[in-house]
Amino acid sequence: MNSDSKIYVAGHRGLVGSAIVRKLQDSGYSNLVFRTSHQLDLTKRDQVDAFFEEEQPEYVFLAAAKVGGIMANNDYPAEFIRDNLMIQTNVIDAAHQNGVKKLLFLGSTCIYPKLAAQPMREDSLLTGELEPTNEPYAIAKIAGIKMCQSYNRQYGTNFISIMPTNLYGPNDNFDLNSSHVLPALIRKFHEAKLNNTQTVEVWGTGTPKREFLYSDDLADAAVYLMNTYSGNDLVNIGMGKDISIKELAEKIGNTVGYKGEIIFNTSKPDGAPRKLVDISRLTGLGWQAEIPLDDGLGMAYGWFLEHVEKNTLLTN
């Protein structure tokens, strides 16, 4: 990409998209195009076609998606598979129809089998059953990967797919009904601290292990790979180390300054027992993460206080 290349970031206000926009702007890319979901509904093919015909972007970061934690995936499986299939199908095909030079598709490590060998290699895709709690979302993302690969094979496009591990950072979703585990715990511990609540409940046993990557690291990797990598092989993006949910909860409690007790509700689902990605392909391409979890948690909590808690107080 050149500094004046026209770049479309789909989903520019979300956790991933906003981080990519920050990285692009900080790196001197000045010709960025965006649309809010109210201005452009990516599930509507006619709107997507009209946008691409009008703007003619050269590069596309496809970060728009319907995402959520265990509760949201369990409650709205039809929306998770339907909306994601429509968004990515419309954008990927419109990119091909309008001669986009390169597209980067953001997937998720939930594409891998529930019992995949750890750390999860890219070639473990489609070798076993998926985790039931987010299967509809995972199937949609797998379809997006295969769509990019198929267009490359048949039409000679340059569409690449990256699989980020669990992400967190600015513009995360802190809604307790739909968020992922890390932002949900930040909010739970913060509110327990404010209300002097003696206990905080965490879903599951606390034993599953997860890997967490700060969104600015993911954005750095995405821009790096957009500029340096072409191929049909998907690429995992992660830290290369994981942590148990129990340890995560304790770290977040310490970050927030919560002094009470953490209890685990074992009647709630754990999800996959472990999700650590093999990053040897990524490091072989010359990139590695830089933001340690402890530092990232402090920055994420600071953003929460400045944006979420501040707005909450203003509306009360």
Q: What is the pLDDT of residues 64-115, one digit of tens each?
A: 998 877 777 778 889 999 999 999 999 999 999 999 999 999 999 999 998 8
Mean pLDDT of 42-66: 97
Does residue 288 carry a pLDDT above 60? Answer: yes
Mean pLDDT of 279-289: 98
Does residue 303 carry a pLDDT above 80? Answer: yes
Q: What is the pLDDT of residues 204-252, one digit of tens each?
A: 999 999 999 999 999 999 999 999 999 999 999 999 999 999 999 999 9
Judge whether 315 is annotated as a binding position.
Answer: no
What per-residue confidence (pLDDT) applies to 314?
Answer: 42
What per-residue confidence (pLDDT) applies to 175?
Answer: 86
Judge whether 146 is annotated as a binding position.
Answer: no
Sequence ranges of the domains in the chain: 7-315
What per-residue confidence (pLDDT) applies to 128?
Answer: 96
DSSP codes, the chain: --TT--EEEETTTSHHHHHHHHHHHHTT---EE---TTT--TT-HHHHHHHHHHH--SEEEE-------HHHHHH-HHHHHHHHHHHHHHHHHHHHHTT-SEEEEE--GGGS-TT--SSBPGGGTTSSPPPGGGHHHHHHHHHHHHHHHHHHHHH---EEEEEE-EEESTT----TTT--HHHHHHHHHHHHHHHT-SEEEEES-S--EE-EEEHHHHHHHHHHHHHH--SSS-EEES-S--EEHHHHHHHHHHHHT--SEEEEETTS---SSEE-B--HHHHHTT------HHHHHHHHHHHIIIIIIHHHHHH-
Choose the catalytic residue: 8, 137, 151, 301: 137
Q: CATH classification of 7-315, choosing from 1.20.1630.10, 3.40.50.1000, 3.20.20.70, 3.40.50.720?
A: 3.40.50.720
The residue with greater pLDDT, 216 or 177, is 216
Judge whether 194 is annotated as a binding position.
Answer: no
Judge whether 17 is annotated as a binding position.
Answer: yes
Judge whether 255 is annotated as a binding position.
Answer: no
Mean pLDDT of 129-154: 95
What per-residue confidence (pLDDT) applies to 312?
Answer: 61
Judge whether 307 is annotated as a binding position.
Answer: no
pTM greater than the 0.85 cutoff? yes
Active site residue 59: no
What per-residue confidence (pLDDT) applies to 179?
Answer: 80
Does residue 165 carry a pLDDT above 70? Answer: yes
